[in-house]
Amino acid sequence: MSRWTRVSAKLPVFPWDTLDQARVTADAHPDGIVDLSVGTPVDPTPAVARRALEAASQAPGYPTTWGTPALRAAIVDYLGTRWAAQGLTDRNVLPAIGTKELVAGLPQQLGLGPDDLVVIPTTAYPTYDVGARLAGCQIQLCDDPDAVEGRPSLIWINSPANPHGAIAPEPLLKRWIGFARSQGALLASDECYGEFGWDVEPASVLRPDLCEGSTANLLVLHSLSKRSNLAGYRAGFVAGDGDAVGELLEVRKHCGMMMPTPVQAAMAATLGDQQHVEEQRARYLRRRTVLTSALTGAGFRIDHSEGSLYLWATRQEGCRDTVAWLAQRGILVAPGDFYGPAGEQHVRIALTATDERVDAAAGRLAGG
């Protein structure tokens, strides 16, 4: 092994690289591919974000890792107004250069290593696993605090969840909070899809009645990628336990992890505007309705999918067989095995395609 490949050797094959053949097949469809595999936004970036970005474009100096006072205030206000969090101050919030980098780097930035156990959901966003591997941590897949074996240092939960869209019941959130505190662990709640609850209203672990009015042992992660179509801006944040946030801030200052000044301005402006979020929700709801009807009409079963931007669908066969079946119809989706062994008979179907492409997919499914 080359000394330059030691890190990548710890990691699984990048999942999307395994879809190359299915993409070729789907691309060959005479009416073009309908790509429902990656959850990348396709709708316009809100004008409020673009105006703020432009107004802040004169930025010759270095930004700060902690973010501007205006951005920190916007994060605190958003969490309070939208998610009922109370008692947050500047010391409880920190911007991130897109939340994926924070998910991947969190175990290392917290100083975790081979003696530490990281708990992640059995079916989950792959980067939780990647971050634990990069830090050399032990990993356990678990969906219930009563089933955790050992004493964890970091616990990931995700609601609404990627890939399957399940929304955690509030009693389960309370149990995870209590368990994390009893173990001296940090509970990292990925709430990036929180604005998209369809059948159930999501709750934040920072809601006072769930966390008993304390941020101790809790972190929440939020992203503006899906909420505000800012995936290209790389705008997210982490909030919660002041000691943990402070540690992250000190480490990230040393690493030069600074969100660009114009992006900070755009993020602050966008967090203060809920109207564009409601407009985007309406777009996704329409696409969800169209695809749900088309998939069930074609013999699929939709499981979970109470929230987020995906449908978790099965034909009760191997997920790669389902990927191939859909690719023959020009539709590209993500196989469930990307997200762990529990997903081997499901595919993840994203709502992040234009109305025209979603309608095209529905027509192809209706054609058999």
Domain boundary among 238, 272, 306: 272
Same domain, 264 and 285: no
Residue 2 is predicted with a pLDDT of: 58
Alpha carbons 168 and 305: distance in angstroms, whole number = 12
Cβ-proximal residues to 12 (8 Å cutoff; 6+ apart), any chain: 126, 129, 130
- How do 301-303 and 310-314 pair as beta strands? antiparallel
Determine the 3-state secondary structure of 216 from DSSP: coil
Domain hosting residue 225, numbered range:
47-272
Residue 106 is predicted with a pLDDT of: 98
Residue 5 is predicted with a pLDDT of: 65
99-109 and 242-254 helices, crossing angle to 10°: 100
Same domain, 248 and 175: yes
How many distinct structural domains can be found in the chain? 2
Q: Evaluate the CA torsion angle 166, 207, 82, 131 in order and state its sign.
A: negative
CATH of the domain at 338: 3.90.1150.10
Domain boundary among 272, 306, 335: 272
Same domain, 125 and 39: no
Helix or strand run (H / E) with residue 322:
helix 319-327
Same domain, 107 and 182: yes
Same domain, 122 and 252: yes
Question: Does the pTM of the predicted model rise above 0.85?
Answer: yes
**305 dihedral zone (left: phi>0; alpha: psi -120 to 50; beta):** left
Residue 7 is predicted with a pLDDT of: 74
Cβ-proximal residues to 252 (8 Å cutoff; 6+ apart), any chain: 65, 94, 109
The predicted-structure confidence for 312-337, as pLDDT tens digits, reads as follows: 999 999 999 999 999 999 999 999 99
pLDDT, tens digit only, all 368 positions of the chain:
556 667 777 777 777 788 999 999 999 999 999 999 998 999 999 999 999 999 999 999 999 999 999 999 999 999 999 999 999 999 999 999 999 999 999 999 999 999 999 999 999 999 999 999 999 999 999 999 999 999 999 999 999 999 999 999 999 999 999 999 999 999 999 999 999 999 999 999 999 999 999 999 999 999 999 999 999 999 999 999 999 999 999 999 999 999 999 999 999 999 999 999 999 999 999 999 999 999 999 999 999 999 999 999 999 999 999 999 999 999 999 999 999 999 999 999 999 999 999 999 999 999 87
Same domain, 160 and 173: yes
Helix or strand run (H / E) with residue 139:
strand 138-141
Same domain, 338 and 219: no
CATH of the domain at 114: 3.40.640.10
Alpha-carbon distances, residue 44 vs 49, 57, 226, 229, 247 (angstroms): 11, 20, 11, 7, 36
Domain boundary among 243, 272, 301: 272
Same domain, 204 and 299: no
- How do 138-141 and 154-158 pair as beta strands? unpaired
Q: Evaluate the CA torsion angle 13, 14, 17, 19 in order and state its sign.
A: positive
Same domain, 110 and 156: yes
Same domain, 226 and 326: no
Residue 3 is predicted with a pLDDT of: 65
